[in-house]
Amino acid sequence: MFALIQAGGAGTRLKDITGDLPKPMVPIAGKPILQWQVESLARSGVYSIVIVCPKNSTAIQDHFKDGSAYGVKIQYIVEEEPLGTGGALFYAAKIIKGDFLLLFGDLMLDVDFERFYKFHKRNNAIITTFAHPNSHPYDSDVLVTGAENKVIHVLGKKEPREDFYENLTNAGLYVVSSMLLDTFVGMDEPIKIDFEKELLAPSVAVGGVFAYRSSEYVKDCGTPDRYEAVGRDTVNGVVASRNLSHPQKAIFLDRDGVLNVFGNFVTHHDMLKLKPDAGPALKRINESQYLAICITNQPVVARGETSLEMLREIHFKLEDLLGEQGAYLNDLYFCPHHPDAGYPGEVPELKIDCDCRKPKIGMLLQAKRDYNIDLSASWFVGDTHQDVQTGINAGCRTILITSGDPEPAKKYAEAKPDYVCADLAAAVDIILGLQA
Ligand SMILES: [Zn+2]
């Protein structure tokens, strides 16, 4: 497979650091960002690389030459005129065969590209966008997705947001189907093209764009603060360890009583109130080597007390409230089922003895598949012994917190947690303290 790296854009805000260097040549822990990208591609078996270079500098060509020193073959496109984020596809169409990866050269990343491409093929997508929650969704473009991760709208950061929205942002990294290059075959001359507006948006409109949700490290270093943070993460090994070809560690979190204030059953988003320690504690998880994944039983759906649509709203509100505090969940899994029939208004097809209702571990097994999680290196934090039993069943270590459900031992009272503490903040102290 080919990769096309867009390294032609001019960086401005890093002028003090970059000097005359093109932004993708800025060093992170001793190597240019672009070299980190090339090495990550090579590790995934992507050896044919095309780099779009700026006209006024040969720094990129001088550094990489034909790529053989990095185990890859590199070809260059030099834009005579700036062609926007997509115009170089005119030249790329003459070189690239088949589906390809499109990367922006100012992103620090370490990604299992093979896994990313498999997702693209499975969905038969025109474009697959690498998507992740971030710590500032309120000032990011966010993806609005429907069934099977299909992107139905890209909500621009300047568009008004009246509803709650998913914390799922577009990282600027794509798999593009070869059919998109066919557009350029009949063209005589290149034209300026904005990739997002002129290629991504129309593909969304015809239902051809899918969001690949990943916890891997992809961050831009476009400001001095971010540049410093990315350098730190690289030196600490966070960038490399998040690559999904390596087993991941997770902290699984129950929802009611751990993240939001316990109050029997939340059936409307108005009823959801965040616990005061939840945002800051989650933020500390986000900055650690652990993934943060919420695992919740929501039998209220099966019992007909709320709908799947409302549950979606409730979870978007949870993400928005956490996002305001710079915190995010890598993912959230819920079980809408309930085994006992006999409630007025119940949904018969959800009244089943499923494999996901805690203390069964179906949701954890799904998360394990989605994020290559090593359950034995992971934790379960909940406010009931049912949560503790779930963690034990999955082979995780467990923490029971005491500021949630006032009757934590209604079920599975015999399940013994490894630790008991007040709240999520204290649980994070315990887990990260053991790491130190
Ligand atoms: Zn279930």
CB 243 within 8 A of CB 360: no
Could you tell me the distance, in angstroms and rounded to a whole number, from the CA of residue 366 to the centre of ligand 1?
Answer: 12
Question: What whole-number distance in Å separates Cα of residue 362 and Cα of residue 351?
Answer: 16
Q: What is the pTM for the complete model shown?
A: 0.92
Residue holding tokens 């690559």? 243
Question: What whole-number distance in Å separates Cα of residue 347 and Cα of residue 398?
Answer: 33
pLDDT along the chain (436 residues), means of 10: 86 62 89 96 96 89 96 92 83 90 94 97 96 89 90 89 88 93 84 89 95 95 87 92 96 97 88 96 94 96 92 95 96 94 86 94 98 98 98 98 94 97 98 88
Could you tell me the distance, in angstroms and rounded to a whole number, from the CA of residue 60 to the centre of ligand 1?
Answer: 52
Question: What whole-number distance in Å separates Cα of residue 60 and Cα of residue 128?
Answer: 27
Could you tell me the distance, in angstroms and rounded to a whole number, from the CA of residue 354 to the centre of ligand 1?
Answer: 5
CB 325 within 8 A of CB 283: yes
CB 290 within 8 A of CB 397: no
Q: Phi first, then psi: give them for residue 311, nearest 5 degrees.
A: -60, -40
Which residues does 113 contact at the CB level (< 8 Å), separation at least 6?
Answer: 1, 3, 40, 41, 44, 45, 46, 101
Compute the C-alpha angle 222/227/228, nearest 5°: 155
Could you tell me the distance, in angstroms and rounded to a whole number, from the CA of residue 176 to the centre of ligand 1?
Answer: 35
Q: Which residues are identified as catalytic?
A: 254, 256
User: CA dist 341 to 278, 310, 346, 410, Å?
Assistant: 34, 22, 8, 20
Could you tell me the distance, in angstroms and rounded to a whole number, from the CA of residue 336 to the centre of ligand 1?
Answer: 6
Question: What whole-number distance in Å separates Cα of residue 410 and Cα of residue 268?
Answer: 25
Give the side-chain half-sphere CA count within 13 A for 55.
6
How much is the CA Rg of the chain, to the nearest whole Å?
23
Cα torsion 133, 138, 140, 142 to 10°: value is 60
Could you tell me the distance, in angstroms and rounded to a whole number, from the CA of residue 10 to the centre of ligand 1?
Answer: 50
Could you tell me the distance, in angstroms and rounded to a whole number, from the CA of residue 435 to the centre of ligand 1?
Answer: 33
Could you tell me the distance, in angstroms and rounded to a whole number, from the CA of residue 257 to the centre of ligand 1?
Answer: 20
Could you tell me the distance, in angstroms and rounded to a whole number, from the CA of residue 335 to the centre of ligand 1?
Answer: 4
User: CA dist 308 to 297, 302, 305, 335, 357, Å?
Assistant: 13, 9, 10, 11, 16
Could you tell me the distance, in angstroms and rounded to a whole number, from the CA of residue 339 to the centre of ligand 1?
Answer: 9
Could you tell me the distance, in angstroms and rounded to a whole number, from the CA of residue 280 to the centre of ligand 1?
Answer: 30
Question: What whole-number distance in Å separates Cα of residue 270 and Cα of residue 250?
Answer: 29
Could you tell me the distance, in angstroms and rounded to a whole number, from the CA of residue 356 to the centre of ligand 1?
Answer: 4
